[in-house]
Every structure is written in C-alpha cells, then in structure tokens.
C-alpha cells in the first residue's frame, strides 16, 4: 500500500503521514476513505491460483483471519507512522501483546521486563507465560537489566511512559543492552504514540500498541497493532495472529484509520493541557506527588526530554489522604468522567489500584508505585481552563 508522492528533501511530517501514510484512494471506486471490506474469504479463481496464493508464490487475499484489505490500510498507516517495514493489526492491545509474545517465545526461553507494565500485560508476562514454561524476570531500573539477562533471554519488554505511574525507560539504552545479549526489544508505545516517540528509530525491534487509546482517540473502537521488520511481522502474523485468531475486524480498522488522521492534533492538545494540569497540581496541599514526565522533578524527565517530543496526555497523582481522598476527589469531578482507558477526546480519571491494576498481586502493585492513593488522569481535548476548574473544585471537596 503506497501513498502520495513526496519530492521534498525531507521526510513527511507526522501530521502528513497520519493523513496520507499507507493509503491512496481506492483503485476500484476512487473512494478516499478506505471501503470496509466485510468478506470472510476471497475468490482465487482457479486451482493453480489457489496453490500459488497459499504457497505465497503470488500475492492476494485468501481469508480475513489472515489479512483483510481494510485492516491492511490500517497496518500500512501504522508502519508508515512508526517507521517500520510492516505491521499486523489485532483485535485489541492485549491481543497484539499476547500474540506477539507467543509468536516469539517458546518453552525454555525467558523474557525480562524493565519498569512498570499495564496490569493486563503484567498478567500475561507474570502468569500466562510461566504456565507455558517461559520464565519472566522483572527489574525496576535499567541499571539492573544486564544482570537479569540469561542465555535464554529472547525478549526484553518495556512500556514507556508506563501505565499508570508514568515511569520512563531509556529505549536506546535498553536496545543496546538487549542486543549485546542477543535478545530483541518489544516496546509498548501506547502512551507516547508515534507522534511523540519513535521506538524503532531508537533501536527497538518491535513496537506494540493498544490502538483502543490515542489511535482510535474517540473511545469507540478496540484494536491493537505490532510494527517491525517484514520478517518479524511475518512471524507475528503466522505464528501469532493467524494461529490464535486474534485478528482485527474491518469495521474497527475503519474507525482506527479515521482516528489516526487526527491523532497528532489530539496528542498535541492533550499533552499541552496535561503539562498545565501537572504544573498546577505539583505542590498542591492535598497531593503528595504528581507523576508526569514533563515535570523537571520526575525521575525520568531527562530521558523523556531526549526520546519524546512532548510529554503526553496522561498523568497520575498521589493523594495525601490515600484511598478515601482518591474516592472523594474522583466522585467530585463533574467534567472529567470516571472510567478506565486513556487517550480519548474526553478526559477520564480512575483509581488504578481498584480498577486497571486490581488483578496485579499486591506486592508487585505496591512495588510498582500503584498505591491506594494513586489517581490516573487521561487529559482529553477539552479547553484546559475548564478542566482546571473542574479539578480545582473537586480538590476542595476532599
């Protein structure tokens, strides 16, 4: 899937790639928005063509669990935005993460993680993979990564900024260490999006996303994506997505393609408001800590300033009054909606310890900074002053 020609001596800006990357008007109809192709299978005409397509001798669609034209446009757009050779679309972020890891790892291998992870990912790596004979070793700091690597380590897995305490992992340094030990790096780029960080350019091998978040952007579609080299994506598609059946539906792919077109504008607006809100909350009487990489006091600020072009739309706050203060604050918000998920047009807030991270064992949860007083805020694209007014009034009600 190609895109419009570009003759200038510089690469396209992310805003241009988000609109045009990976797509041209539909050849058959001229439709600018890619048609939603709902077929489950595709005629290959005659016997020999069928043989050629199934052996890969000839290109062509066969069955929508393997590949679908609408999904292919979404995959091509994401490959263009992340700077990868190819991409594979999935039914959700968890489908992307679990299918990618299951495609890459076998019994006897191990995986090392650096820093905090989304609760669902923590479940796959900390509990599902060990049940299949794939051991995981989790370190909090990159300084401890080399010591955690073994001859069986095939994958180093990171998430940056990490859900929900916005920990920052140095991607270039992670790739350097992992490659020295012959392992590859898989990075979850959901919070940063390719608008703010391009992990592949920093040496990461495979990028995964929950496309349900900033990529969709409107809270109305569920999806995931993996991006990397053509070889790696062939493996992820065949040994992961096709076998597990974790394919993206063409309806959701169409919504995600539409979401991508405005993603850079939305991410820019959310990041600017999140920075303002973080600065306002930092030092507030009711709050003991604000976790936002855009604050100079954040432990990952310097690395984030190097590998991100802005600091993103998500922050979390540590309420001095613990769980009961978090509860009063959240219940007092009127414009900000209490819900999980992030990256929507609408601002959303939640209490990770009892929602997104409730299934994570308490010791790991607390060690990762997901305390009982932690509140996560995903800043939408509303006018920042209106959000600040809502947050301010809710804080007075604790």
Question: Could you list the residues that contact ligand PLP (CB under 6 A)?
Answer: 92-94, 118, 120-121, 159, 163, 188, 190-191, 210, 212, 222, 224
Considering the candidates 109, 110, 118, 344, report the single residue annotated as catalytic: 118
Beta-bridged to residue 225, according to DSSP, are 89, 209
Q: Which residues contact 232 (CB under 8 A, 6 or more apart)?
A: 86, 184, 205, 206
Q: Which residues contact 125 (CB under 8 A, 6 or more apart)?
A: 101, 111, 113, 117, 136, 138, 157
Tell me the closest approach of the beta carbon of residue 163 to ligand PLP, in angstroms: 4
Considering the candidates 53, 65, 320, 323, report the single residue annotated as catalytic: 65
Closer to ligand PLP by Cβ: residue 115 or 294: 115
Closest residue to bound ligand PLP by CB: 93
Closer to ligand PLP by Cβ: residue 369 or 384: 369
Tell me the closest approach of the beta carbon of residue 162 to ligand PLP, in angstroms: 7
Pick the closest to residue 308 from 319, 318, 300 (CA basis). 300
Closer to ligand PLP by Cβ: residue 190 or 371: 190
Tell me the closest approach of the beta carbon of residue 220 to ligand PLP, in angstroms: 13
Tell me the closest approach of the beta carbon of residue 150 to ligand PLP, in angstroms: 26
- C-alpha 64/C-alpha 237 separation (Å) is 12
Closer to ligand PLP by Cβ: residue 153 or 160: 160
Tell me the closest approach of the beta carbon of residue 119 to ligand PLP, in angstroms: 8
Whether 65 sits among the annotated catalytic residues: the reply is yes
Closer to ligand PLP by Cβ: residue 193 or 371: 193
Tell me the closest approach of the beta carbon of residue 186 to ligand PLP, in angstroms: 12
CA R_g for the chain? 21
Q: Which two tokens stand for residue 269?
A: 């607006």
Considering the candidates 109, 110, 188, 205, report the single residue annotated as catalytic: 188
Considering the candidates 213, 237, 266, 365, report the single residue annotated as catalytic: 213
Whether 213 sits among the annotated catalytic residues: the reply is yes
Q: Do the Cβ atoms of 154 and 108 come closer than 8 Å?
A: no
Tell me the closest approach of the beta carbon of residue 76 to ligand PLP, in angstroms: 20
- C-alpha 329/C-alpha 374 separation (Å) is 11
Tell me the closest approach of the beta carbon of residue 48 to ligand PLP, in angstroms: 41
Closer to ligand PLP by Cβ: residue 210 or 275: 210
- C-alpha 43/C-alpha 63 separation (Å) is 9
Closer to ligand PLP by Cβ: residue 249 or 325: 249
Closer to ligand PLP by Cβ: residue 119 or 264: 119
Active site residues: 65, 118, 188, 213
């Amino acid at each position: 899937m190609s895109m419009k020609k570009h003759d200038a001596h510089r690469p396209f800006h992310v805003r241009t790639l988000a609109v045009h990357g990976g797509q041209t008007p539909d050849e058959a109809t001229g439709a600018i928005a890619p048609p939603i192709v709902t077929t489950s299978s595709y005629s290959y005409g005659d016997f020999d063509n069928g043989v050629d397509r199934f052996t890969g001798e000839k290109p062509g669609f066969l069955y929508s669990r393997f590949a679908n034209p609408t999904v292919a446009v979404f995959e091509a757009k994401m490959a263009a935005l992340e700077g990868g050779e190819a991409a594979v679309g999935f039914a959700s972020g968890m489908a992307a993460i679990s299918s990618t890891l299951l495609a890459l790892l076998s019994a006897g291998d191990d995986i090392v993680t650096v820093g905090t992870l989304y609760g669902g990912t923590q479940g796959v790596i900390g509990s599902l993979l060990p049940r299949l004979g794939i051991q995981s070793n989790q370190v909090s700091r990159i300084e401890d990564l080399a010591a955690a690597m073994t001859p069986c380590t095939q994958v180093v897995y990171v998430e940056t900024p990490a859900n929900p305490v916005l920990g920052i992992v140095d991607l270039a340094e992670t790739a350097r260490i992992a490659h020295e030990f012959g392992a590859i790096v898989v990075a979850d780029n959901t919070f940063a999006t390719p608008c703010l960080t391009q992990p592949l350019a920093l040496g990461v091998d495979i990028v995964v996303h929950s496309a349900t978040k900033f990529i969709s952007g409107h809270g109305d579609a569920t999806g995931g994506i993996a991006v990397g080299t053509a070889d790696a994506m062939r493996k992820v598609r065949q040994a992961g997505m096709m076998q597990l059946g974790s394919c993206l539906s063409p309806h959701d792919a169409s919504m995600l393609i539409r979401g991508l077109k405005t993603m850079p504008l939305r991410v820019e607006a959310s990041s600017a408001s999140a920075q303002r809100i973080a600065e306002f909350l930092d030092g507030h009487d009711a709050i003991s800590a604000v976790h936002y990489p855009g604050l100079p006091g954040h432990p990952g600020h310097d690395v984030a300033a190097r590998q991100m072009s802005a600091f993103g739309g998500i922050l979390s706050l540590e309420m001095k009054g613990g769980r009961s203060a978090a509860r009063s604050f959240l219940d007092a918000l009127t414009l900000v909606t209490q819900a999980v998920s992030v990256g929507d047009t609408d601002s959303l807030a939640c209490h990770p310890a009892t929602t997104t991270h409730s299934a994570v064992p308490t010791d790991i949860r607390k060690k990762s900074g997901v305390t009982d007083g932690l509140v996560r805020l995903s800043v939408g694209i509303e006018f920042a002053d209106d959000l600040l007014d809502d947050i301010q009034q809710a804080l007075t009600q604790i």
